[in-house]
Structure 1
Amino acid sequence: MITINPYLNFKGNTEEAFNFYKSVFGGEFSAVVRFKDMEPENKYPEKIMHIALPVGTGNVIMGTDALGKMGDDLVAGNNFFISINSQTKDETDKVFNALAVGGTVNVPVYKSEWGTYFGLLTDQFGIQWMVDCPL
């Protein structure tokens, strides 16, 4: 079964934003990964690479600090992705390829460093999507 969740990008204040969302929605973070956890030599070691806050049943708000070149063009309106979490590579490919028609593939689907099958695209209407499934 596919799930769809928001993935939010911030210019360095993800932790502050997510602590606020936690105060609003309650619960506990299911993931907090800092850049140093994946890239020990990163120049932003304490910033958030990935954070996830479950909200309700089956919903998760996720986010990252979009720093350096990643955040150069970040403004309100383009600072989020819709994250599609699928169960199989075939399902991921099908959805990714269908959404990519007339759009732009930003990162082709590949085996990510964190061990999932992952890709990014912007559809023909300007909506940013990320697809992800466990391997």
Structure 2
Amino acid sequence: MTQINAYVGFNGDCRRAMEFYRDCIGGELTFQTVAESPIANQCAPSMKDSILHSSLTKDALLLMATDMTGPDGFIKGNNIALSLNCSSEDEINTFYSKLSAGGKILEPLKDSFWGSLFGCFTDKFGIMWMLNYDKGTANQQ
């Protein structure tokens, strides 16, 4: 099922913010630090405790967050992206091509270390998009 979720950047406050949201909303909260990820050696040692990815789930609610920033750094206002979880490889290719037209490619569509096809861009209206297709779901369909 294709779905859009919010993905929020916190520039160092991700753990504290997501724990606050969990305390307010409830649900299950998970974190992956930079040190726990395959990209740890590509990041400065000072970033090892930074949150690479966090998710808060409760029923149909999914809120995702990170401490990571884009190539232009952290600027309030550019810290929220729309994360589009696609249901097929054809769908992600179509959406990526159409939505990124006239925008700025931040991450070309490619295989990721978490087993998904992933790409990131800012569209022509300045909205950041993160497209993801979990290749493992292809076997479940």
* CA distance, structure 1, for counterparts of residue 105 and residue 71 of structure 2: 18
Residues 50-104 of structure 1: CA distance to partner in whole angstroms, max 9, x if unpaired? 00001442x311011126xx47631221111100001111110111111011111
Whether contact under 8 Å (1:83, 1:132) holds in the other structure is yes
Q: Which residue of 1 aligns with 2:104?
A: 104
Instruction: Within 5 Å, give how 1:48-87 maps onto structure 2.
Output: 48-57=51-60, 59-66=61-68, 70=70, 73-87=73-87
Change (3 A) 1:71 1:23: farther
User: Where do 5+ consecutive residues of structure 1 fail to align?
Assistant: none
TM-score, length basis structure 1? 0.89
* CA distance, structure 2, for counterparts of residue 79 and residue 118 of structure 1: 19
User: Where do 5+ consecutive residues of structure 2 fail to align?
Assistant: 136-141
State the identity %. Answer: 32
Q: Which residue of 1 aligns with 2:32?
A: 33
Whether contact under 8 Å (2:111, 2:117) holds in the other structure is yes
Which amino acid is 1:35 matched to?
V
TM-score, length basis structure 2? 0.85
Q: Which residue of 2 aligns with 1:23?
A: 23
CA RMSD of aligned residues (A): 1.6
Change (3 A) 1:120 1:74: same
